[in-house]
Amino acid sequence: MRKGDFSELAMFIAVAEEGSFTRAAAKLGLSQSALSYAVRMLEERLKVRLISRTTRSLSLTDAGEKLLHSLRPAFEHIDSEIAQLTALRDKPAGTIRITTFRHAARTVLWPALVKFLPEYPDIAVEINVDEGLIDIVAGRFDAGIRVGEQVEKDMVAVRVSADFRMAVVGSPLYFANREVPQTPRDLSNHNCVSYRQSAGGGLYAWEFERDGVELEVRVNGPLVINDNEMLVNAALDGLGLVYTFETQIAQHVADGRLIRVLEDWCPPFSGCHLYYPSRRQHTPAFALLLEALRYKG
């Protein structure tokens, strides 16, 4: 195989993983036309169609799926070996790709990076913020950060935050002519703002526990949001009750702008964990960031 063929294979992987020539071209720093030409040349050389294209979308053919399945482990191994070479440098270097959800990005990852990046100027960190659960192997991420109970059992998990608590809150305006709920079942009499984790996901059920009794409540209301910060805004504006992280509403409760209810039904639960595949070798850069994030409380 010629040297240029390896570049074409790498371009094909990028298009397949991004699901878009536009996004893949931006990721690789190429023009869309150059990327499309390279993939077309690869198809002509192999004499098989790899990608089905339409004006609005693309999908892999059976041959494309088979090629991607074969190439991905090989290229991941090459990436890993190249990354290991940074250990021979005087200073740790390289790019670390992490996927996480917005609350963890803001409260866990960002405070650590503010101190970490100036100390290691040759290390770059790419952050992907996504409220849905991401396959970090397929997405070629070095690690993810999620609540502990969401981490797959075959991953290595390292705690990076204290335990969390959820909270149900509403504004004084909302409660001006409504009774305060005493149990989760009372929520059926209230307007509740629902949360959808991702564009194609279901509505999140509000989870409660007290004295060994666990409840999942499917709430109703006129508004559905997929962003926790907008949830808080909805509560502040009196649009209904919301269920969100305690840390997001603590100051508003202290200031009297929000009223917390059902607090005794919201016990602590497992905090954030950074997780990564057990078979993946650590680069010096990754090991340093892992230690910077590790929870020491």
The tokens describing 84, both together, are 């290991």
The tokens describing 191, both together, are 């307007």
Indicate yes or no: pTM above 0.75: no
- Mean pLDDT score of the chain, rounded to an integer? 88
d(CA 263, CA 281): 43
Q: Which residues pair with 242 in a beta bridge?
A: 169
Among 68, 88, 108, the domain-final residue is: 88
Specify whether 81 is located in the same domain as 59. yes
Specify whether 177 is located in the same domain as 258. yes
Helix (H, G, I), strand (E, B) or coil at 212: coil
The pLDDT of residue 192 is 97
Q: What CATH number did the domain enclosing 23 receive?
A: 1.10.10.10
Specify whether 284 is located in the same domain as 256. no
Amino acid in position 169? V
Residue 194's Cβ-side half-sphere holds a number of Cα atoms within 13 Å equal to: 16
280 lies in some domain = yes
Higher pLDDT, 277 or 132: 277
81 lies in some domain = yes
Higher pLDDT, 132 or 180: 180
Specify whether 171 is located in the same domain as 262. yes
pLDDT tens per residue, range 47-101: 899 898 776 778 889 888 898 888 888 877 777 777 666 555 667 888 999 999 9
Cβ count within 10 A of residue 115: 9
The pLDDT of residue 38 is 86
Specify whether 58 is located in the same domain as 109. no
The pLDDT of residue 197 is 73
* pLDDT at 152 > cutoff 70: yes
Rg (alpha carbons) of the chain, rounded to whole number: 23
Query: What is the arithmetic mean of pLDDT over 261-267?
Result: 96
Burial 217-228 (b: 16+ CB within 10 A, else e): bebebeeebbeb
23 lies in some domain = yes
Specify whether 275 is located in the same domain as 147. yes
* pLDDT at 199 > cutoff 60: no
The pLDDT of residue 64 is 87
Cβ count within 10 A of residue 53: 13
Specify whether 124 is located in the same domain as 99. yes
- The count of structural domains within the chain is 3
Identify the band that residue 37 occupies on the pLDDT scale cut at 50, 70 and 90: confident
158 lies in some domain = no
Query: What is the arithmetic mean of pLDDT over 233-242?
Result: 96
**Least confident among 4-18, 132-146, 247-261:** 4-18
Higher pLDDT, 279 or 149: 149
The pLDDT of residue 239 is 96
65 lies in some domain = yes
d(CA 118, CA 104): 21
Specify whether 239 is located in the same domain as 282. no
Q: What CATH number did the domain enclosing 210 receive?
A: 3.40.190.290
159 lies in some domain = no
The pLDDT of residue 2 is 52
Cβ count within 10 A of residue 52: 11
Q: What CATH number did the domain enclosing 146 receive?
A: 3.40.190.10
Contact residues for 58 (Cβ-Cβ < 8 A; gap 6+) = 15, 19, 20, 21, 51, 52
29 lies in some domain = yes
Query: What is the arithmetic mean of pLDDT over 17-37?
Result: 85
Identify the band that residue 280 occupies on the pLDDT scale cut at 50, 70 and 90: low
The pLDDT of residue 3 is 46
d(CA 180, CA 165): 20
Most confident of 20-24, 121-125, 146-150: 121-125
Burial of 193 (0-12, 13-18, 19+ CB in 10 A): buried
Among 56, 88, 120, the domain-final residue is: 88
Q: Which domain holds residue 31?
A: 3-88
- Which phi and psi (to 5°) does residue 220 adopt? -125, 150
Specify whether 251 is located in the same domain as 182. yes
50 lies in some domain = yes
Among 35, 64, 88, the domain-final residue is: 88
Specify whether 178 is located in the same domain as 253. yes
d(CA 21, CA 54): 12
Specify whether 191 is located in the same domain as 282. no
The pLDDT of residue 68 is 87
Cβ count within 10 A of residue 114: 9
Specify whether 50 is located in the same domain as 131. no
The pLDDT of residue 130 is 86
Q: What percent of the chain has pLDDT over 70?
A: 92
* pLDDT at 141 > cutoff 70: yes
